[in-house]
Structure formats: structure tokens, C-alpha cells
Amino acid sequence: MATRRPTTSFFTRIVLAIILTCVIAILPVAVFIYIYGDELTRDNLYDQLSVSMDDIRIRFTETLDGYSGALEAYAALPEVVSGDSLALAKAGQLVFGSLLRTCQIAVVDEDGTVLYASRDYMYDMGFEDRPRGGGQDAVSYSTSYRYLSYNGDQVVINLERDAGERHIFLDVIGSQFIRYADPALVNEVCLLDEEDGMVSSLIHLDDYRPLSSGWVFSYTLNQRGGDVLIASRALPEYGMSLVGYLDISPYMTSLNRFYALLVVVLLSAFLISAALAVILARSLVRPIHELVAAMDEVRGDDLAPRSLHSHIREMDQLDGRFSQMLTRIGMLVRQSEEEKERVRDAERKALEAQMNPHFLFNTLNVIRSMARMAGEKDIEDITTRLGRLLRYAVDNRQSTERLETSWIMVDSYLGIQKVRFADRLETACSFDPSLKDVVTPKLIIQPLVENAIIHGLEPKAGSWHLTIDVHREGQEAVILVEDDGVGFDDSILGDIQALEAAGHTGLYNVYKRLELYYGKNVSFQIESVRGAGTKVSLRIPLEKGGEE
């Protein structure tokens, strides 16, 4: 006889588990924070600084690229070559638009004559002394030409582009760059112009000094140690760099205070957790015992819901789910009986429904035989085609079919319509035999043809022409139906829902069934010109459904 293993109560296990969890959670965390807390905090702040500098670099580059693109577009205008001041002003408003609120632009001749300036006072800014050298096909960037703009903002970046014998200068004010930096993540952001040997602050715009002054000391390096974190981002396309730094001494002081408080909190939490573990264990065990007892009461067909009314939310939810389960089981039992009854009723109705199509088929066979005996070839042919279409329509055993079957049904439908409209209806049909075994949803070609005849051709006077083409393009089967009828209104071409509302139920039905079958891999396009005709094209993938 096997020896029974000793067991402990659920209450004891919960108390021990909670206490051990507290010890296991608190001790490693405390040791880890004591050893690695400062380093992790510094690394985390540096990572935040790096992310902030990456964001600043992206936004700075996007902004400067926007000005550069506008400057390139402006330089390419014929108005710049002509030198007409009025034309230059209009072109500047057109190209730069709202950018003129954050920049100032001027067009200067080779002799220093200002042909156009976005601000009047700029005529006296001495453009002949400004740095040049962008060339005919490039924009040059500089930070050496500093002045206050019309609204008192400091200009921090200068762009120059040559256009023939003209020089185009674009000065960007620095106020828009201040908002790029989050003061909590970076204290200072500097723009280093290594070519001009200048460094300027993008936060404190008045700070602008030579690199030789040592103002930025080691700003060109990334630095993690000490009380100052430094991160730089190169801008090689502009010949500049962005450098940001963050003073972390306030963070470290706050962190040390946090460590002391954390020790007190952890010790207090351990003592409180031990006391609460006992209370919690008792409150958990009691409703569990009650729920087990309620489960034991469920016997045979007795599925009446029970309620324990626990004061613990989770246990009360568990009790509620148990009651819902009992209610659901009872409902499923009743639904099962009702479903069996509905199945029997459906089988009976299906047998009755088979009688009506059978009667119609017999009647069509009688008409066809009479037409053959009377020598009425057209009536015999149209009756045969109608019977084929009717059998196809009432066959609900499968929701898919081979593309060749769809094509045969279209041929039967067109045969009936040609008898009806005689020589008025001209058709051009082509079918790629390699697509005959492609499996698609039923009825995807015939509704398109029917829609073309009813909505496109019948309202039109004179002769009609209808083209139906099924061919392969790569890994897609392409179905085209084109008519020279009256066409659609433009208002419904781009709205599938509007097709159904406008009476084009066949088109809407085909689209929805293809969407359900192929998902987003199907292409459904309608091209129509009022009074000229309509072209409907379907593109369906060959992978879905495959080839039989």
C-alpha cells in the first residue's frame, strides 16, 4: 500500500507563499538598486537624452530640408532669372507661403543690388559681404551671418543658392527651434558649424561664439560619466553637428533620497504583508469551500443557478460565472432540442421545395419537344438555354464553380438575349482556355453581362456592342465586360454602396461575394463615361481556390 504524502492546508500555503514572495521580491531588488541604481539611472537619463537628440535631429533636418526644397524650387523659376522685382515677390509668396513667417529671403544681383527682399529693411543689410558658394546646383549652409529679424527674433542659419547671375539668400530665425527641446530631457542644444568655426545655442539664441572660445569644451564627444551627460548628432549634409547636454546632479540628489525612503517603505511593506497574508488567506479559503459545496449539489438534471454572495470581488465573479455556466448549459440543452426540431422541419420543406423546380423543368422539356416537332429552332434553342440557366440557378449544393462553367452560363444567357434583340446586339467574346479550371464563387460573370444589357444598352437607341474577355495576366485572372451604352453617373462610380442604391444590385452582389471569398486580394474597378459606355474589370488571384 502506497504511503500517503503529507499535505498542508490551503490557508497555510497562501500565508507562506505571500511571505516568501515578499522576501524574494524585496531582497534582490534592494541589493540590485544598491549596487547598480546610480549607473542605471545615469544610463537611463543618457538614453532619454539620446532619444531626445535623435528627435531633435530629425525635426531639425526636416525643417531645414523644407527650406532647402523651397529655395531650390524658387531658384528654378524663370522669374528669378528675369530679375523683375514684382514677379520675384509674387513667386516668393507662391513658393514659400507660410514659411515667410519664420524666414527672410532676398535675391541679390552680382553687383550687390537687391532685386527683392521679403522685408524692406533688408535692403541695407550689406548682402555683398555675405558668404556665398552654393553654386548653381547646390545650397550652402552657414551660421556666420547673424542679425535680429523684423520681429526681434535672432537669425541662426543662413542658406544661399545661385541662380544664373543671381544670389538667393534665405535666413532662418531660431525661435522655431526652441520648441524642439524638452527642458526635462535636455538643458542645452548647440549647433556647431565646423566649417565657419562657430557654435550657437538653439535654446538661448543670444549665445553665439567661436569654437576656439572653449565654450562647448568636449561637446563634440558623447559623454556618460560625471554630473553632465553629453550626446552629439552629426549633420554631414549641412557640415554641422547638434550637441545636447543634461545636468543630472539634481536627479542624483533626488535618487539618494529615494533610496533612503525605499528602505523604510520595503521594511514596512514586509511587516504589513505578513499580517495581511493571514487575513487574506482566511477570506479566500471560506468562499472556496462554499463554492465547492455548491458544485457538489449539482446532480442529474438539476441545473438551477446558485449564489454565494462573497465579499471578495474575484470570488463573487467566479460565483457569477458558475451561475452563468449553469444557466448557459440549461439554455444549450433547450436549444439543442429546438435545433433538432428545426432540422426536421427544414428537411420536410426542402423535399416540398424540390417539387416546384422539377415541375418547371418538365414543362420546359415539353415546350422544347413541341418546338422541335414544329420545326421552331429558335424556340427550341432558347428553351434549352433557359433550362440550363434555371438548373444552374437552383443548384445550391456548392457555392463555387469552375470558371468554364460560368462562361457556359454566360453563353446561354447571351443566346437568349440575341434571340430577343436579334441583330441589334453585337457581341465579342473571348475566353482563355488555361483558366477553365480556376475555381471562383458562382455567378460572377453573368450578373456583369446582365447589368451591362439592362442598365447600359437597353436605354440606348440604335445598335449595341458588348465585349466580354476573360484572360490571364501573371498570377491573376482578368474578367472584362465593356459596353457602349448610356454609362453611369460619376457620383456612384467610387461608392460600392451607391451601386446597390442606384439599382445595380448585380454589380454590388458580385463585389461583396468576391470580397468575402478573396478578402482584399480582389480588384473591382468600374470606368464609365456618361453617354459613351461602361467598362467593368475584375482581377482575382489564381492562388485562392487554386486550379482543379
Is residue 388 domain-resident? no
**Average of pLDDT values for 256-261?**
82
CATH number at residue 438: 3.30.565.10
Q: What is the mean pLDDT of the chain?
A: 77
Higher pLDDT, 540 or 120: 540
Residue 151 backbone phi and psi in degrees, to 5: -105, 15
Q: For residues 492 and 498, is the Cβ–Cβ distance under 8 A?
A: yes
- Within 8 A by CB and 6+ apart from 75, the residues are 161, 162, 163, 168
Domain that holds residue 427: 400-541
Describe the crossing of helices 313-353 and 355-374 by its angle, rounded to 10 degrees. 30
Dihedral in degrees, nearest 10, Cα atoms 56, 61, 63, 69 = 180
The closest alpha carbon to 79, from 95, 68, 101, belongs to: 95
Is residue 58 domain-resident? yes
Residue 491 backbone phi and psi in degrees, to 5: -65, -20
Is residue 429 domain-resident? yes
| Confidence at 128, pLDDT banded by 50, 70, 90 | low
213-235: pLDDT as tens digits? 655 544 444 555 567 888 888 88
pLDDT attached to residue 352: 47
pLDDT attached to residue 121: 52
N residues, the chain: 548
Q: Is the pLDDT of residue 145 over 50?
A: yes
Encode 6-42: b = buried (16+ Cβ within 10 Å), e = exposed. Answer: eeeeeeeebbeebeeebeeebeeebeebeeebeeebb
57-78: pLDDT as tens digits? 999 999 899 999 999 999 888 8
pLDDT attached to residue 355: 44
CA distance 475 to 300: 60
Q: For residues 141 and 198, is the Cβ–Cβ distance under 8 A?
A: no
Which residue, 247, 263, 278, sits at the end of a domain? Answer: 247
pLDDT attached to residue 465: 92
Q: What is the largest CA-CA distance in the chain?
A: 114
Q: Is the pLDDT of residue 330 over 90?
A: no
CA distance 64 to 141: 10
Q: How far from each other are the two terminal CA atoms of the chain, in whole angstroms?
A: 65
Encode 72-99: b = buried (16+ Cβ within 10 Å), e = exposed. Answer: bebbebebbeebeeebbbebbeebbeeb
pLDDT attached to residue 214: 55
pLDDT attached to residue 302: 62
Number of domains observed in the structure of the chain: 2
| Confidence at 130, pLDDT banded by 50, 70, 90 | low
pLDDT attached to residue 470: 94
Q: For residues 399 and 513, is the Cβ–Cβ distance under 8 A?
A: no
Q: Is the pLDDT of residue 269 over 90?
A: no
User: Which residue do the cell numbers 486550379 mark?
Assistant: 547
| Confidence at 429, pLDDT banded by 50, 70, 90 | very high
CA distance 97 to 90: 10
Q: Is the pLDDT of residue 353 over 60?
A: no
Q: For residues 421 and 455, is the Cβ–Cβ distance under 8 A?
A: no
Is residue 520 domain-resident? yes
Is residue 290 domain-resident? no
Residue 191 backbone phi and psi in degrees, to 5: -110, 115
Asked which of 77-91, 200-214, 328-342 is least confident by mean pLDDT, the reply is 328-342
452-478: pLDDT as tens digits? 888 888 888 888 899 999 999 989 999
**Average of pLDDT values for 350-365?**
52
Which residue, 196, 221, 247, sits at the end of a domain? Answer: 247
pLDDT attached to residue 467: 94
Is residue 253 domain-resident? no
Q: Is the pLDDT of residue 162 over 70?
A: yes
Which residue, 247, 276, 297, sits at the end of a domain? Answer: 247
Q: For residues 415 and 385, is the Cβ–Cβ distance under 8 A?
A: yes
Is residue 261 domain-resident? no
pLDDT attached to residue 55: 92
pLDDT attached to residue 317: 74
pLDDT attached to residue 312: 67
Percent above pLDDT 90 for the chain: 7
Q: Give, for 281, the enclosing helix (H) or strand (E).
A: helix 249-296
Q: Is the pLDDT of residue 125 over 60?
A: no
Higher pLDDT, 7 or 270: 270
Higher pLDDT, 137 or 488: 488
Describe the crossing of helices 10-75 and 249-296 by its angle, rounded to 10 degrees. 130
Dihedral in degrees, nearest 10, Cα atoms 126, 131, 135, 140 = -120
Q: For residues 324 and 333, is the Cβ–Cβ distance under 8 A?
A: no
Beta-sheet strands, E only, within 407-463: 425-431, 439-441
pLDDT attached to residue 153: 81
The closest alpha carbon to 157, from 224, 240, 92, 233, belongs to: 240
Choose from 105-109, 223-227, 249-253, 365-369 the range with maximum mean pLDDT.
105-109
User: Which residue do the cell numbers 459545496 mark?
Assistant: 293
**Average of pLDDT values for 186-209?**
81
pLDDT attached to residue 277: 74
Is residue 21 domain-resident? no
500-544: pLDDT as tens digits? 666 677 788 888 888 888 888 888 888 888 888 899 999 999 876
| Confidence at 150, pLDDT banded by 50, 70, 90 | confident
**By 3-state DSSP, what share of the chain in percent is helix, strand and coil, each rounded to 5?**
55, 20, 25
